[in-house]
Structure formats: C-alpha cells, structure tokens
C-alpha cells in the first residue's frame, strides 16, 4: 500500500530564517507530487506541483521554492521566511496518468513564523 | 472572484437531521468534481466524486448542475462524526485541482 510521510509536523521559526519541509511517498512510482498551503480559515492554495524528477511548476510567485531530487521525494524550502508564510503546509501525491482527482495528503506541517 | 466558492458556515445541524450545501465554480472548462472532507487540524481526504447524473454513497448525495455551475452535497441522518469541513474541488484539464474554502458542518446532539 502507498503511504506519504511529511515532516516536521510543527515548527516555529523567526522571520528571516530558512525553511525546509520534506515529503516522501512509498509504495508507488512516478507519482505526481504537490505542495499546498492552507492559511487559517481559508482554502488550499496550490504552491508547486511536479510530474517527475527535476520538473517543478510554480503556481504562485513567492519566496518559496520546491525541489524533487528523487522520484518520491519533494522538498519545500525558503531562504528567508516572512510572517505571511505562516500556515498549514500539505504535501500530496496522485497517480500519474490518471484523472481520478484523488489526492492523498500527508498529515501536514504547521508553520508559525514569529 | 474565487474560482470555487463555498459558504463557510458553520451549519449547525441537530443529530439525525438532513443538511445540504452548495458550491459554485466559475471555470466553465471544469471537467471533474469532488467533495473532500477535512477534520479539524487534519489533512483533507476524498469523500466522493460527483457524477453528472448525481450519485449517492450511503447517507451522502452529491449533485452536479453544469448549466448553473454548482455542485451540492446532502447529508442525511447526520451523525456526530459528520462534523467536519467539506471542501468542494474541481478539476479542469490536467491534474491540477482547485479547492474551495470549505463549508464547516457541526452536528450537535
């Protein structure tokens, strides 16, 4: 069976500090991978998605970046966090080549920037 | 205007009652539609897909109205465990999904 792991679960960071969130998927190959952000009381905003190693599409211009160094690894980074980067970050995967619309989400990383 | 709009609620529902709510979408090229459920401080999970002819899954019924560009979710015989935020999701060409802001449902005894 497929599983998705995301870490850390919670972090508190000062403004201007760097960020690295990691996500790995097990039990499947060549998944589509996604990073979403959910601000308090708001919907999910797609930040990045990837259909393969090294292939990253950015949906929203911001001070965040994403990388996919391995097939089942997706990393969200920032060099300098802003207060507005606070939120609930969710990694997700879907099966490549299908249009079922089913995303499988990790448990999320709750980021507070102070 | 948001691409997918939902009444944020909360909808306060007596246990055993029926609750229904809609979601409107602006992209006429949307091809597929879904309802996801998100518990407080948890990740969203797929509840059900929405088919053109409408579909049921137990106590849940989803409807699609392409002409008016909205989908609906109806929950019958509400349980306390149905308390959650229900996210409306659309998909146009490709695998990118667009999420609504969610409708919060609180089922009370």
Can you tell me the distance from the alpha carbon of B10 to that of B104, in angstroms, rounded to the nearest whole number? 5
What would the pLDDT profile of A72-87 be if each residue is shown by its tens digit? 999 999 999 999 999 9
Q: Report the residue count for chain A.
A: 114
Can you tell me the distance from the alpha carbon of B23 to that of A50, in angstroms, rounded to the nearest whole number? 28
pLDDT value, residue A68: 97
pLDDT value, residue A2: 86
Can you tell me the distance from the alpha carbon of B77 to that of B14, in angstroms, rounded to the nearest whole number? 9
What would the pLDDT profile of A25-63 be if each residue is shown by its tens digit? 999 999 999 999 998 767 899 999 999 999 999 988 788
**Angle of CA points A48, A81, A44, to nearest 5°:** 40
B7–A contact, CB cutoff 8 A: no
Q: pLDDT band at residue A100, thresholds of 50, 70 and 90? A: low
Q: pLDDT band at residue A3, thresholds of 50, 70 and 90? A: very high
Q: Shortest Cα distance from A4 to chain B (angstroms)?
A: 12
Nearest to A107 among B4, B43, B98 (CB): B43
B96–A contact, CB cutoff 8 A: yes
Can you tell me the distance from the alpha carbon of A112 to that of B13, in angstroms, rounded to the nearest whole number? 33
pLDDT value, residue B93: 76
- CB pairs below 8 Å between A and B: how many? 53
Residue B91 in 3-state DSSP? strand
Interval B48-73 mean pLDDT = 95
């Amino acid at each position: 069976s497929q599983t998705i792991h995301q870490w850390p679960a919670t972090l508190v960071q000062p403004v201007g500090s760097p960020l690295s969130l990691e996500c790995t998927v097990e039990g499947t190959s060549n998944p589509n991978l996604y990073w979403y952000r959910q601000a308090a009381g708001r919907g999910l905003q797609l930040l990045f998605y990837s259909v393969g190693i090294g292939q990253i599409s950015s949906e929203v211009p911001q001070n965040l970046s994403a990388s996919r160094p391995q097939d089942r690894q997706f990393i969200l980074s920032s060099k300098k966090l802003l207060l507005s980067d606070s939120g609930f970050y969710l990694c997700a995967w879907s099966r490549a080549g299908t249009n079922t619309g089913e995303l499988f989400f990790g448990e999320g990383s709750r980021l507070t920037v102070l | 205007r948001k691409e997918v709009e939902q009444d944020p609620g909360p909808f306060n529902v007596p246990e055993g009652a029926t609750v229904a709510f809609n979601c409107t979408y602006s992209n006429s090229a949307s091809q597929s539609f879904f309802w996801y459920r998100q518990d407080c401080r948890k990740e969203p999970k797929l509840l059900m897909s929405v088919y053109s002819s409408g579909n049921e899954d137990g106590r849940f019924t989803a409807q699609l109205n392409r002409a008016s560009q909205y989908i609906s979710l109806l929950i019958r015989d509400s349980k306390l465990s149905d308390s959650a935020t229900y996210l409306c999701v659309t998909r146009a060409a490709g695998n990118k999904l667009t999420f609504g802001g969610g409708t919060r449902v609180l089922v009370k005894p």
